[in-house]
Structure 1
Amino acid sequence: MTRSKALKLTMACVAILLVGLVCAGYAATPPTIGYVTANMTATSQVRVTNAFVAQGKEKGWKVINADAKGSWPTLADQIENYVQMKVDAIVVAMSDLPSIKAAIEAANKAKIPVISIDSGSAEGVIADITTDNYVMGSKISSFFVDRLNHEGNIIVFKFSEHHGTRKRGRALDMVLLENPGIKVLATHNLPPAGFMQDAQAKMETYITQFGDKIDAVWCPWDGPAMAVTMALQAARIGRDKVFVTGVDGEQEAFDLIRSGAPFVATVAQPFELMAKAAIDLIDEIVVKGVPVEKAAPTSTIYVDAPLVSPANVPAKGAWPWD
């Protein structure tokens, strides 16, 4: 064989190998992923963001990360920025999808796949990866009324600007309908930004207003539940007088549950597993070229979330799913 023929054969083999790698899902250029979350002051969003960024980088991808700081217009603008940057996929976390409809449509027009995490399903989004908020709301609300022995006076904090917390609140409403012995003294809707300070200040007002009439406080997630707990502790009100529940399952919440503080229960969301599910979906669609209808046959991908109370709170630093 001549040197020229050998060179041509080698080049042909290399070409075949490259085609095989591409067909097998090994792209020549790592994808660029645009990621934006609603508000990084929420510990839950820090967890899912950190997990997503770390797992994306492990795969050699370029992950661009942004924080909307509690503003839906800012979040929509960031999606528009990602469209202009021609990223390979966009991930939206903890958003209110109807509020960013135009931005999603812009991504769709540019043929950029959009995946959401804990944001609800919407047209133009391939899939939302989440826990079932109705189920979580029912779990924590059932625990809540059982601990009250189905009678008493309560304070309710809600958050209507997010689909998940709305659903949890509606689950509470249904549970309370079956428990007429429980009276709601007051209901307060939390703001998108500054919710920790707002919850603590509002709880301080309720302590002054209602005094020892309060038996329990229901919160839509752990952040405000911890703020309410701080207000109770500052007033020297213990778990034996008033208890508090949340949802998310932060390590700080587990610490409070173990400590004997008023915070007694939460539903632990596996945010790190949600991030992994989003990474896996992008890998299937963007990297391996699997058709969307095959990679995501349903518009919602659920992960399970267990109830955590003093009966089963994990050791410090551990998670219920470890």
Structure 2
Amino acid sequence: MSTILKLSAAMAITLWAASPVVAKTVKIGWVQGNAAFQAEQRTEDGFKKYLADNKITDWEVTYLDSGGTAEKVANNIEDAVNRGVDVIYVTYADLRASSNALKGAKAAKIPVYSVDSGWIDGSTADITTNNWQMSAEVSLSLINKINGKGNLIIITTDKIKPVRERTDTLRAILKEYPDVKVIGEYNFNVANFYQETTNAVQDFATRFGDKIDAVWTPWDEPAQAAITALKGAGLHVPVSGMDGHPEAIQAICAKDSMFIATGRQLFEKWGADLASYAKRVKIDGEDPQAVTNGKNIVYYGATLFTQDNCK
């Protein structure tokens, strides 16, 4: 080999070795059950923090808000598949109308990781709280607050799997407390949960007045809506929620608060998990199911927070 060729080869090797590794741009299709949920915002915060901590700046994230409707969730999953994204996230959604859409994602070999939405065929894995555990602790706190007897209002929805689990847990507990009577129940539309909760509790307050001894709600924002309605009616009764948002913690610790208990969930951790899964699959080349150790559902515990924890 001539001196010139040797030099050229050496230069080429040097240049190749010195060239930066080009990171793959990961395209995420993020299907939100309802962008208005504070849980959505906190999960996104955890996702963004993971990217910042790992100096990831070039991922492309398309947010698709479903506005609280199952049909829109399915349409948005199909949209994400058609966009050719690398990974799909589905957060706080009702997946019961999404079977075909998820099968389409599976056929396209696009992993689908959901949060607090339940697992069905076509989904890779769901990250969620153990909602039975959380509801058991929160519900018992509310029942103990009224000494195991009195008239209860239930505010709920059957449109989200975790909420169905929380409500089913409450009903199971109530079987052991025959002196707690459910005098009113309202099943709200997720798309308009805050206003419908406010209206429902106002109606119950008008009908039952000071006969209401407690109000159970499925998460913190409906709890806050219920409290606003009760205050407007001049009533002061204990109310429970779940999620453990900062505003709820502050409300529970306020003097003479009606908000007596919530369950603190790990939303930011879940967002970081979503980012980690995408990185490990699309950058590091791991199997989509291996990143959850082969689990269809990844459970996290929730921490009960009551007025006792304010001390």
TM-score under structure 2 length normalisation: 0.92
Larger deviation, residues 289-298 vs 53-62: 53-62
Amino acid at match of 1:307: L
Q: Which residue of 1 aligns with 2:245?
A: 250
CA distance in 1: counterparts of 2:24 and 2:287, whole angstroms: 20
CA distance in 2, matches of 1:261, 1:231: 14
Q: Match for residue 225 of structure 2?
A: 227
1:210-238 deviation per Cα after TM superposition (whole angstroms, max 9, x unaligned): 11111000001111110000011112222
1:281-314 Cα offsets, whole Å, 9 max, x none, are: 1111121111234222211112221011111149
Runs (5+) with no aligned partner, structure 1: 315-322
- 8 Å CA contact 1:151, 1:179 repeated in 2: yes
Q: CA deviation at 1:110?
A: 1.0
Q: Give, in whole Å, the separation in 2 of the partners of 1:6 and 1:28.
A: 30
CA pair 106-10 structure 1, distance change in 2 beyond 3 A:
farther
Deviation for aligned residue 1:202: 0.8
Task: Give the equivalent residue in structure 2 for 1:6.
Answer: 7
Deviation at 1:205, TM superposition (A): 0.7
Q: Count matched residues.
A: 305
CA distance in 2, matches of 1:208, 1:176: 25
Q: Which residue of 2 aligns with 1:142?
A: 140
2:308 to 285, 306, 311: 311
Partners of 2:5 and 2:74 in 1: CA distance: 57
Q: How does 1:237-276 map to 2 (within 5 A)?
A: 237-238=235-236, 242-259=237-254, 260-276=256-272
- Give the residue type in structure 2 aligned to 1:266: T
TM-aligned CA distance change 1:98 to 1:2, over 3 Å = farther
Counterpart residue type for residue 12 of structure 2: M
**CA offsets per residue over residues 160-199 of structure 1, 9 Å max, x none?**
0000000000000010001111111011111111111111
Are residues 1:289 and 2:299 paired? no
Q: Distance in 2 between matches of 1:6 and 1:233?
A: 83
Q: What CA distance in whole angstroms lies between the structure 1 residues aligned with 2:275 and 2:96?
A: 24
1:73 is displaced (CA, Å) by 2.1
- For residues 14 and 299 of structure 2, the distance between their equivalents in structure 1, rounded to whole angstroms, comes to 44
For the residues of structure 2 that align with 1:233 and 1:62, how far apart are their CA atoms? 45
CA distance in 2 between partners of 1:27 and 1:87 (Å): 19
Corresponding residue for 1:317? none
SS in 2 for 1:179: coil
Letter of the 1:277 partner, please give it: D
Secondary structure (helix, strand or coil) at the match of 1:248 reads coil
- Tell me the alpha carbon deviations over residues 34-80 of structure 1, each in whole angstroms, 9 at most, x when there is no partner: 11111122222222134324534652222222211112222222222
Q: Partner of 2:115 in structure 1?
A: 117
The residue that corresponds to 1:176 in the other structure is: 174
Aligned with residue 129 of structure 1, among 99, 102, 127: 127
**Which residue of structure 2 lines up, in the alignment, with residue 320 of structure 1?**
none
- Work out the CA distance in 2 between the residues paired with 1:205 and 1:2: 92
Counterpart residue type for residue 268 of structure 1? R
What is the correspondence of 1:66-81 to structure 2 with a 5 Å cutoff? 66-81=64-79
TM (norm. structure 1) is: 0.89
- Gap change, CA 1:13 and 1:300, over 3 Å in 2: farther
Task: Map 1:73-222; keep pairs closer than 5 Å.
Answer: 73-222=71-220
Work out the CA distance in 2 between the residues paired with 1:150 and 1:12.
77
Shift of 1:208: 0.9
**SS of aligned partner of 1:116:** strand
CA contact (8 A) 1:232 1:262 kept: no
| TM-align CA RMSD | 2.0
Report deviation, 1:147. 1.4
Among the aligned pairs, what percent are the same residue?
32
